[in-house]
A and B are shown apart, each in its own frame.
Chain A
Amino acid sequence: MSFATTKFAHPIPLSTTAARSNDHKPFLDPFKATRFLGSTHKFRFHPLTNSNHINIHRRSAVVAVSDVLKAKKPKSTSNLLITKEEGLELYEDMVLGRAFEDMCAQMYYRGKMFGFVHLYNGQEAVSTGFIKLLKKEDCVASTYRDHVHALSKGVSARAVMSELFGKTTGCCRGQGGSMHMFSSEHNVLGGFAFIGEGIPVATGAAFTSKYRREVLKEADCDHVTVAFFGDGTCNNGQFFECLNMAALWKLPIVFVVENNLWAIGMSHLRATSDPEIWKKGPAFGMPGVHVDGMDVLKVREVAKEAIGRARRGEGPTLVECETYRFRGHSLADPDELRDPAEKAHYATRDPITALKKYMFENNLVSEPELKAIEKKIDEVVEEAVEFADESPHPGRSQLLENVFADPKGFGIGPDGRYRCEDPKFTEGTAHV
């Protein structure tokens, strides 16, 4: 679909994009690819021919932006996509995400955190591109790959690292873990272990925003919710059901698909009849946009428009970000199925390197400034680890807290008192 930088096309005329899909075959015809057996087989990846092929179609979604970025000459600042301050903010956020995740990997292999830990390396542009445009009151809902979403939204690195270490100073008191990052202060609604689970919750948060405006008459309530999820989720019922409801009621929500092409070991193409996810938006009456998710500036441009739409009450948008995770699905995933050439290709599109390059080429920043940021982030992450290390493990007394908001829910014991009044309850040794 084409959209100008200022507004999205109305969903109905988007059917004109069908013309494009008629003359263009998907970059790999799944029916010809039945030979796929394993990682050595070049299943979906043809570096030279198809990436350009893809890019022609994908870039047409964001015409003006790519034209700007292609120019090599430094331009006057008025033509740039970001100011220096914005650039530094974006850079810092992405470097924080990357450094934090790298530290998580280290800590995991040293036995400081356990279970399923899903790292976000490579996808930083999506989180930074969207979340840095949000206000504190806006909500974010994510999946199990949620550390960086929480960090971008403002949750401190200490709180996230402590949570991962299972300490009581964690953002969820150690009770949630890697897959359940919540913050009521920063409106991070989770952190969900089952895919698709967070999308209805995000839809509910958007519903609250609309309810506040229309029923509670809080006229200035324009809170937006952004829901992040992956390509695998886009085959799940909850995705479609929520697209329907959000478009039906024009909820202020943006659905962001982080299409990193792999759902653990399942390639997106092997799981999906029509792999172009952005097309599913217009089917429900909302614009569907595809954007290069390895380029934070492109993501940011699309995000501005999508978030703006939602804030103005024009309804939801579906944004498909083509991105890639540099590591395996989780720290337990040996990551043997993906083609090394594919990984190498996306490594050249590292979003942090790309932003750095853009800022240098446009004389926005100097090398020492970026180095200073990197050093600062290293210190932040180190400090977070120290803090988490020194924090206490949860005591027994924490076991029964927070099961119910109102602990009377544990009921009345044989002695006639509410169980939560039993002194053993606060010690965590009561039998409930």
Chain B
Amino acid sequence: MAAVFQGLGAATALSVSNSLDSRKFLVSSRKSLSERKASFLVVRSDGRVVPRSNARGRRAEQLITNAVATKPDSSAASTTSKPGHELLLFEALREGLEEEMDRDPHVCVMGEDVGHYGGSYKVTKGLADKYGDLRVLDTPIAENSFTGMGIGAAMTGLRPIIEGMNMGFLLLAFNQISNNCGMLHYTSGGQFKIPVVIRGPGGVGRQLGAEHSQRLESYFQSIPGIQMVACSTPYNAKGLMKAAIRSENPVILFEHVLLYNLKERIPDEEYICSLEEAEMVRPGEHVTILTYSRMRYHVMQAAKTLVNKGYDPEVIDIRSLKPFDLYTIGNSVKKTHRVLIVEECMRTGGIGASLTAAITENFHDYLDAPIVCLSSQDVPTPYAGTLEEWTVVQPAQIVTAVEKLCQ
């Protein structure tokens, strides 16, 4: 791919909104793991020139307004590459998985019903036929043990992807995830690495009941030695899946039950997304809205209303739940001076709570108002539809919160 050099004149604007420009090609993440070269360079405000992932600005033109199957925004910038192909989010995950399994024979999958059944959300459909029963392993219902088995396999040279049929089931694997996954690299003095990917659907669905509607990111966030990412679009789902598999660190990839059928056109060329970076969804001036996973769509829905009311929200999908991309977030806070966090975690001890602390600690001087964090109620998710709706943050609440924040 040709390198495209951005003009020096746009130095400050570049760091956040460079990608608004056209020709967003596909780049490998900042430390290029793959053979792809960066397709454009970024001039930072201090004059340094660095290759840059385009993931940050990619979503700028594509405003996805609801959480079910949607068509891509037709005003997406035209590219000189092939137009790409359309698929659903679960297919994007599968595509990423398949590409990595083709690329490296040490990559394998293990979990309940991932093989013959194709995965409870069809993410691994067809893979067992292609790669065999050992590479796509149907495990018995023993989360703690098969997660530990994946960790032992990773220590001895394989690169397993461990699926929790529902993220909530991984509570049974907490022993292995906390003690071994997170800590073994350290307690062994760096002798063994654990390149596992632990993934699965979580979040509040449609009346799935309390136990199937859990948000495990808040429970896992304190575990040292792991990274957590949450995908929200087919594009970043595939990119994050690939990046997670290639990472030498243990990565927990959070998917959302309601987002599997999102449709989007993604590039044909190979790409990965950076595990540590956030995604600029909609640049703006008045308020920074930080969100991830399904709440991104509630936020974008609220954004439509807010735009009509004359507000200009900046929406960032933080994507990396641990560690936080404080650069992207910080630049946004420095610009807008107001922060609203919208998340699906419970109020107590969720990602939003940590994010509030991190922003306050690092960017306190830039804030014109206290940070507002909208989270789910500290309530076990009820079965009844009406009650369930009231436990999670709805677009109307987001609109109200922004209005209040911007007074």
Residues of A at the B interface (CB closer than 8 Å) are 139, 141, 170-177, 180, 182-184, 189-194, 197, 199-212, 214-216, 237-238, 241-242, 244-245, 248, 401-406, 408-416, 418-419, 432
Contacts and interface: CB of A to CB of B under 8 A. Distances in A.
A216 B159 CA distance: 13
Contacts of B15: 416
B195 interface: yes
Contacts of B140: 241, 244-245, 248
B77 interface: no
B145 A409 contact: no
Interface string B92-107: 0000000000000110
Given A403-B225, A409-B323, A204 B191 contact: no
A293 to B, nearest CB: 25
B152 A200 contact: yes
Given A241-B144, A416-B15, A202 B323 contact: no
B176 interface: yes
A204 B150 contact: yes
A405 B194 contact: yes
26 contacts: A172-B189, A174-B189, A175-B186, A180-B188, A182-B189, A182-B192, A190-B184, A192-B180, A193-B179, A194-B179, A200-B147, A200-B149, A204-B148, A204-B150, A207-B149, A208-B157, A210-B134, A214-B134, A216-B105, A238-B145, A402-B190, A403-B185, A405-B249, A410-B323, A412-B327, A413-B327
B175 A194 contact: yes
Contacts of B44: 416
B156 A418 contact: no
A423 to B, nearest CB: 17
A171 B190 CA distance: 10
A403 B180 contact: no
Given A175-B187, A211-B108, A405-B185, 13 more contacts: A192-B180, A200-B146, A200-B147, A200-B152, A203-B145, A204-B152, A208-B158, A237-B145, A241-B140, A245-B149, A406-B247, A409-B249, A411-B320
Given A201-B148, A411-B276, A405 B189 contact: no
A183 B175 CA distance: 22
Given A172-B188, A237-B144, A201 B180 contact: yes
Given A207-B149, A211-B153, A241-B142, A402 B276 contact: no
A203 B341 CA distance: 42
B65 to A, nearest CB: 29
- Which of A200, A209, A410 gathers most chain B CB within 10 Å? A200
A412 B190 contact: no
Given A203-B145, A406-B248, A412-B276, A197 B176 contact: yes
B32 interface: no
B317 to A, nearest CB: 15
A182 B153 contact: no
Interface of B: 15, 31, 44, 105-106, 108, 132, 134-135, 139-140, 142, 144-158, 175-176, 179-180, 184-195, 224-227, 247-249, 275-277, 320, 322-328, 330, 362-363
A41 B327 CA distance: 67
Contacts of B185: 402-405
B104 to A, nearest CB: 11
A184 B152 contact: no
A406 B325 contact: no
4 smallest CB-CB distances across A and B, nearest first, come from A204-B152, A200-B148, A411-B323, A173-B189
A177 B189 CA distance: 10
B187 A414 contact: no
Contacts of A182: 184, 187-189, 191-192
Given A172-B188, A241-B142, A411-B324, A201 B135 contact: no
Contacts of A206: 152
Nearest to A176: B187
A2 B328 CA distance: 68
A174 B277 CA distance: 33
B326 A412 contact: yes
Contacts of B179: 192-194, 197
Contact of A180 (B187, B224, B227, B325): B187
Nearest to B141: A241
A413 B323 CA distance: 9
A227 B324 CA distance: 39
A411 B325 contact: yes
A179 to B, nearest CB: 9
B187 A205 contact: no
Contacts of B226: 409
A201 B157 CA distance: 13
A215 B326 contact: no
A404 B181 CA distance: 11
Contacts of B275: 408-409
Given A201-B180, A241-B142, A405 B324 contact: no
Contacts of A409: 225-227, 247, 249, 275-276, 323
Listed residue (A174, A182, A183, A432) with the most chain B CB atoms within 10 angstroms of its CB? A182
B326 A200 contact: no
A208 B227 CA distance: 24
Contacts of B194: 405
B145 A408 contact: no
A402 B144 contact: no
B156 A204 contact: yes
Contacts of A237: 142, 144-145
A414 B358 CA distance: 10
A206 B152 CA distance: 8
A33 B330 CA distance: 68
Given A170-B189, A197-B179, A203 B248 contact: no
Nearest to B106: A216
Contacts of A208: 152-153, 156-158
A208 B149 CA distance: 9
B135 A215 contact: yes
A177 to B, nearest CB: 8
Nearest to A404: B249
B326 A411 contact: yes
Contacts of B176: 197, 200
Contacts of A242: 145, 149
Contacts of A402: 185-186, 189-190
A432 B44 CA distance: 24
B154 to A, nearest CB: 7
A248 B325 CA distance: 44
A48 B157 CA distance: 51
A139 B144 CA distance: 21
